[in-house]
Amino acid sequence: MPELPEVETVRRGLIGVLEGKRIAHVAVRRRDLRRPFPARLAARLKGRRIERIDRRAKYLLFHLDDGMVLLVHLGMSGRLVIADPSETPGPHTHGVVETEDGVRILYNAARRFGLMDLVSQNQVGDHELLRDLGPEPLGDAFTGTALSAALKGRKAPIKALLMDQRIVAGLGNIYVCESLYRAGLSPRRTGASVAGARAERLVKAIRAVLAEAIEAGGSSLRDYVQASGELGYFQYSFAVYGREGEVCPRGGAGGQGHVVRRIVQSNRATFYCPKCQR
C-alpha cells in the first residue's frame, strides 16, 4: 500500500510527536516479518532520543542520538499510528513504542511484508536495502535526461520499469498508473521509447501526481491511514487506478472509447485509458 505519498504523510504526522522525544519503552510482540526485527531491538531503542525523521523512497529513517538509524518499511499493509491512550494492541501489532511524554506508536502489519532494521548513521547509504535505489522522484536528480538514461535500451514495458525502485524510488502500482495517465503514455510502451520530450513529460507528471497525493494525505484504499488515524483522500482523484470500465476524466459525456482498461503486467494490475495513453 504505502507508496511514497503515504510514507511521506506518515512521516509528517510523526514529526510533531516523535522528533526530539526520548523513547521510554518498546514492546516487540512478533519479530518474524519480511526480515526478522534486529536482535534486542527493544533494548537498543530504549532511552534513545529521536533526533530526526527522514524518508528515502518508501523507507522511514529515524535518526537516534547514539548514531544509529532505525529503518522502517511498511510493506503492503503496514501502518504506523499514534495510539489512542485506551487503545490495546491488535493481533497484527508487531511493535509498540512509547515516548517519555506518554505518546504510544503502534507498528501494525497484517501481512508481515514490512521490516525494521538498525544501521549506523554513516552506513545508511550503503545499506543493502537502500544502496541500489534510484533517485527521489521529487528531488533535483530526477530529470528527463536522467530518466531517459536509465531507460535506455530497456525493452520491458514502461509500467514495469517505473515499478523498479532502481529506476526511480518510491513509486508503486497506484502512482505509476496515475502518472502514466497524466503523461499520456501507454503502460505497454517500451522503456527505451520513453526519451526526450516524452521523458520530460513523464517526469513532470510523476512530480505533479506525487505532490498532489501528498497534499491529499495519500490514498486510503484498505489499510492505509495517516499517523493520526485520519484517512487520506487522493483515491477520490484517481483517473484510472481501480476504475476498470469507467470513462476516464478526459472522456467527457458519452466517453467515446475513453473506457479505462485493466491489464496485467509482470503479475500486477495496470489501469489505463487506451484513447488518452499512447
Residue from 48, 56, 58, 79 carrying the catalytic annotation: 58
Residue from 30, 204, 268, 275 carrying the catalytic annotation: 268
d(C-alpha 1, C-alpha 3), whole Å: 6
- 257 vs 44, 91, 242, 252, 272, CA distance in Å? 58, 46, 18, 10, 12
DSSP sequence for 152-198: TT--SBHHHHHH-TTTSSS--HHHHHHHHHHHT--TTSBGGG--HHH
Using rule CB under 7 A, residue 58 touches DNA: yes
Contact 68, 121 (CB under 8 A): yes
| Number of Cα atoms under 13 Å in the Cβ half of residue 94 | 25
Residue reference for cell 484498505: 222
Q: Report the residue number, 23 or 260, with the smaller CB distance to DNA.
A: 260
Residues 188-227 as x/- pattern, contact with DNA by CB under 7 A? ---x--------------------------xxxxxxx---
Among 9, 11, 38, 75, binds DNA (CB under 7 A): 75
Contact 138, 89 (CB under 8 A): no
Q: Looking only at residues 223 through 252 of this chain, which bind DNA when binding is defined by CB under 7 A? A: 223-224, 232
Task: Report in angstroms how near the CB of residue 230 gets to DNA at its nearest.
Answer: 12
Q: Residue 199 contacts by C-beta under 8 Å, 6 or more apart in sequence?
A: 144, 145, 147, 148, 151
Q: Looking only at residues 97 through 126 of this chain, which bind DNA when binding is defined by CB under 7 A? A: 110-113
Whether 46 is a known active-site residue: answer: no
Whether 268 is a known active-site residue: answer: yes
Among 80, 163, 206, 273, binds DNA (CB under 7 A): 163
The SS3 call for residue 106 is strand
Using rule CB under 7 A, residue 263 touches DNA: no
Q: In what order do the strands lie in the sheet with 78-82?
A: 23-28, 93-99, 104-109, 78-82
Task: Report in angstroms how near the CB of residue 254 gets to DNA at its nearest.
Answer: 26
Task: Report in angstroms how near the CB of residue 178 gets to DNA at its nearest.
Answer: 11
Among 157, 202, 227, 243, binds DNA (CB under 7 A): 157
Task: Report in angstroms how near the CB of residue 167 gets to DNA at its nearest.
Answer: 9
Bridge partners of 54, per DSSP, are 61
Indicate which residues carry an active-site annotation: 2-3, 58, 268
Residues that bind DNA (CB under 7 A): 1-3, 6, 34, 57-58, 73, 75-77, 91-92, 110-113, 129, 153-157, 160-161, 163, 165, 171-174, 191, 218-224, 232, 265-269
